């Protein structure tokens, strides 16, 4: 884990953005299309940790961006070039535009200043979406990546962010995937090679200190 000083240096509120990935009711909520993933995100504490990080970011003046995956009812523009997309199209709960399934899930609170970016295709919250240009316009240098899943969307977000020149911080206990033992292995052997891995409490300590300095 990084030292407090090193992590604090990365998490300057003026140049840091917190990204939540697919933390939506139809993915991690009570009526999830993926109940095993939802159960892991909730029982393992990842969703609660995302909510804690979002609250701290609001307090510290760190911009929050929520990346949501959705689908038009007619399926126009949706990706069809992987088994995952075909499987998702057959699920009993669909992430349809305008439905409860694509609302950011409790206990995460969406503030007025938050940005919600919705995508209709692909696997990545960054590639082919508005997230990258928004980050650049916000002056982002460090991106905190949280959410689900450790299997697909989260590593996509991390790799795409690194490829675009951002420094990435991953709070390891604020992401989830299935099976449960896959997430720590993927973080250790993959994400740790390209991102700064920390804990939620370590990131919170830096954000809370930044918020205190901001109010002083």
Q: Is the pLDDT of residue 213 over 60?
A: no
What is the token pair recorded at 78? 């949706």
Average pLDDT rounded to a whole number, residues 74-103: 93
Please tell me the predicted confidence (pLDDT) of residue 35.
96
Q: Is the pLDDT of residue 205 over 90?
A: yes
pLDDT bracket for residue 93 (50, 70, 90): very high
Please tell me the predicted confidence (pLDDT) of residue 215.
47
| Tokens 């989830």 -> residue | 176
Please tell me the predicted confidence (pLDDT) of residue 4.
81
| 61: region left, alpha or beta (phi > 0 left; psi from -120 to 50 alpha) | left
Q: Could you tell me which residue, 106 or 209, shows the higher pLDDT? A: 106
HSE toward the beta carbon, residue 32, CA cutoff 13 A: 20
Q: CB within 8 A of 115, min separation 6: which ones? A: 63, 64, 65, 66, 134
| Tokens 């959705």 -> residue | 70
Average pLDDT rounded to a whole number, residues 189-209: 97
Please tell me the predicted confidence (pLDDT) of residue 195.
98
Average pLDDT rounded to a whole number, residues 186-211: 95
* CA-derived radius of gyration, the chain: 16
pLDDT single digits (tens) 138-188: 999 999 999 999 999 999 999 999 999 999 999 999 999 999 999 999 999
**Cβ-contact 54, 108 below 8 angstroms:** yes
Q: Residue 154 to residues 57, 74, 83, 117, 195: CA-CA distances in angstroms?
A: 19, 27, 18, 15, 12
pTM score: 0.95
**Cβ-contact 173, 167 below 8 angstroms:** no
Q: Is the pLDDT of residue 216 over 70?
A: no
Please tell me the predicted confidence (pLDDT) of residue 3.
85
Q: Is the pLDDT of residue 83 over 70?
A: yes
pLDDT single digits (tens) 46-66: 999 999 999 999 999 999 999
- Range 187-215 burial, b when 16+ CB lie within 10 A, else e: beeebeebbbbbebebbbbbbeebbeeee
CA 37, 20, 13, 7 torsion-angle sign: positive
Please tell me the predicted confidence (pLDDT) of residue 212.
57
Average pLDDT rounded to a whole number, residues 64-74: 97
């Amino acid at each position: 884990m990084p030292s407090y000083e090193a992590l604090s240096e990365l998490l300057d509120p003026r140049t840091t953005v917190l990204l939540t990935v697919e933390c939506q009711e139809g993915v991690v909520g009570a009526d999830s299309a993926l109940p095993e993933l939802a159960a892991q995100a909730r029982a393992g504490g990842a969703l609660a940790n995302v909510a804690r990080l979002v609250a701290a970011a609001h307090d510290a003046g760190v911009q929050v961006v929520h990346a949501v995956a959705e689908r038009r009812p007619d399926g126009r523009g949706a990706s069809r070039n992987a088994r995952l997309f075909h499987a998702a199209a057959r699920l009993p709960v669909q992430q349809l535009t305008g439905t409860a399934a694509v609302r950011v899930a409790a206990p995460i609170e969406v503030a007025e200043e938050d940005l919600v970016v919705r995508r209709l295709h692909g696997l990545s919250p960054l590639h082919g979406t508005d997230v990258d240009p928004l980050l650049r316009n916000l002056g982002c240098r460090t991106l905190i990546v949280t959410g689900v899943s450790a299997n697909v969307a989260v590593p996509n977000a991390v790799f795409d962010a690194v490829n675009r020149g951002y420094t990435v911080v991953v709070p390891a206990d604020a992401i989830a995937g299935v099976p449960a033992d896959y997430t720590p292995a993927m973080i250790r052997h993959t994400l740790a090679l390209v991102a700064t891995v920390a804990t939620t409490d370590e990131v919170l300590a830096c954000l809370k200190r930044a918020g205190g300095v901001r109010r002083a």
